[in-house]
Amino acid sequence: MYQHAQEFFKEVDLNSKTNSTEHHTSTITADELIVRRGQAFTVTLKLTQAFNPDLYPLTVVAATGDCPSEDQGTESHFGIPDSVTRSPSAKAVWKIALHKNSSAPMGILVLTITPPANTPIGKYTLSVKHRDCEMLLKIVVLFNPWCPDDWVFLPDELERQEYVMNEQGIIYTGNGNYISGTHWDFGQFEDNMVNICLKILDVNNKHLKNPADDESARCNPIYISRVISAMINSQDDHGVLEGNWGSSFWGGVSPSQWNGSHAILKKWFNTYCSPVKYGQCWVFAGVMCSVMRLLGIPCRVVTNYESAHDNDGNLVIDVFHADYGVRFRESNDSVWNFHVWVEGWMRRPDLAEDGKYDGWQVLDPTPQEKSEGVFCCGPASVKAILNGDTELKYDGPFIYAEVNADCIDWLVKANGSKVNIFSDTKRVGQNISTKAVGLNKRMDITDTYKYPEGSAKEREVFKHASTRNYFTRNEEKPGDQLPPVTMRFEEVMLNDRAQAGFTCGKVVGHMWPCTKDRLMYELFQISHHV
């Protein structure tokens, strides 16, 4: 528990049993005391002499990482009495107080120590100094979904038990017509998981490039979850799993053979961060869920049936058919029978100060497309996806398309032009599923991602999403490029018997660069049943 106690320190007690129970960490297998930020824990010190704080104060320095700094929030100075000199720009200041059970004349100090709710998570050294003696204590600080001031605060206790504490779960696979539930052992509190999960953070590329900034940013679950999303796959870093969607799994384990996360994470850790072979989407998601729950971020695994992969960000799955005498054109877009990702629960003050986008956030560790140069995805607010606010961080267009892209069949003619021959607006994003809270049953959460298919609201949101300011058009696609134009769609009632979704459009203003074909398609969308 401590490295050495010298002349004035007689005994130290980290009160591990009491602290672990109060901090919901008693089920975590670890040697160190594990606490959650924003919540007090107690340490009992027995001194060889009476404690007189006016003559001989007690000072403590809490530090984490290789480059601890008050200004970065990775170091904090505090003491009894609180006369410690701090940096004027110190972040994440810890607090200390003497508990009522203390007895200064007898040299018995029950210290109540509180890491703030914005302190970076990780391993900490507490350097306790009294007179000329120093004692070092080791603890681990995690996120705290029980603390209202923590960005990962989850109000409902049943949900906390499910999304943080539950080590068993169900991952749904199969297809939309035959949904299959597979048991998954998350094992987030198994042996050495604390060291394994913190190692994942330590070997990520951002930490290797700038340890001080990375360790400081570990106060932020948005940052942490994005790092984990990148580190679960091994595409461009020292990540945990190597993906394999082929028919041969020689040299590794078929993804269908895995039934839990701990064996995968343990193998990665014990082989010096070498990627474990092999994973597919549900394995990536299961492993990420384990890491998130261990660190204290509420997390659940989500399956999307008829899941679209929109390669060019236009929210449309394009299928090209060759006219007679025209060479067939392969599409980079696709629709998968299912795809699995995770949702993490956190606040998103980076998106809106009023909490509009707080709550569940999509995170996808399966390496599909690069996000800001890295194979990761999210976090993207589920509420933002629901309302088509796809311009918001992170990866909104890609995730929106996964659950609500339109499928368009094009006939490609000899002159390179395209004709829309079929549109399906209802195929993508069906039976979006996760395990129910406290029950081994499927819970359908499709309505958290999109409004009912075929409704006027769903089409309105799709139109809103498709006109956000994020498009990067694929210049190789057929169609002549037009200069940017200003246009806005305005619905005009044809007659009092006109139905929802059947309106006439006129161009009056909204700016985006588009192709002739895309312009014609958008006009078609608002003037016909789709």
Q: Residues annotated as binding site?
A: 404, 406, 453, 458
Based on the residue annotation, tell me whether 407 is a catalytic residue of this protein.
no
Catalytic residue among 197, 219, 281, 407: 281
Based on the residue annotation, tell me whether 364 is a catalytic residue of this protein.
yes
Report d(CA 60, CA 70) in Å as an integer.
13
Report d(CA 492, CA 60) in Å as an integer.
70
489 within 8 A of 504, measured Cβ to Cβ: no
Report d(CA 313, CA 472) in Å as an integer.
7
Cis peptide before 278 (omega within 30 of 0): yes
Tokens encoding 501 = 């979704």
Place of tokens 């193998």: 267
357 within 8 A of 383, measured Cβ to Cβ: yes
Measured over all CA atoms, what is the biggest interatomic distance in the chain, rounded to whole angstroms?
Answer: 98
Give the β-pairing of 168-175 and 133-142: unpaired
Report d(CA 94, CA 167) in Å as an integer.
31
Catalytic residue among 202, 358, 364, 395: 364
Q: Which residues are annotated as a binding site for Ca(2+)?
A: 404, 406, 453, 458
203 within 8 A of 275, measured Cβ to Cβ: no
| DSSP assignment letter at 255 | G
Cα end-to-end span (Å), the chain: 66
Based on the residue annotation, tell me whether 281 is a catalytic residue of this protein.
yes
The three-state secondary structure class of 111 is strand
45 within 8 A of 15, measured Cβ to Cβ: no
| DSSP assignment letter at 233 | B
Place of tokens 């979704």: 501
CA angle 391, 394, 398 (to 5 degrees): 75
Q: What are phi and psi of 54, to 5 degrees?
A: -70, -35
Give the β-pairing of 418-424 and 430-435: unpaired
Beta strands in 25-132 (DSSP E): 33-36, 41-47, 58-64, 75-80, 95-98, 108-114, 122-130
Spatial CB neighbours of 419, under 8 Å, sequence gap ≥ 6: 410, 411, 413
Spatial CB neighbours of 222, under 8 Å, sequence gap ≥ 6: 151, 346, 348, 350, 361, 379
The three-state secondary structure class of 160 is helix
144 within 8 A of 115, measured Cβ to Cβ: no
118 within 8 A of 73, measured Cβ to Cβ: yes
Catalytic residue among 202, 339, 389, 514: 339
Spatial CB neighbours of 331, under 8 Å, sequence gap ≥ 6: 317, 318, 319, 320
Cis peptide before 145 (omega within 30 of 0): no
Which residues carry out catalysis? 281, 339, 364
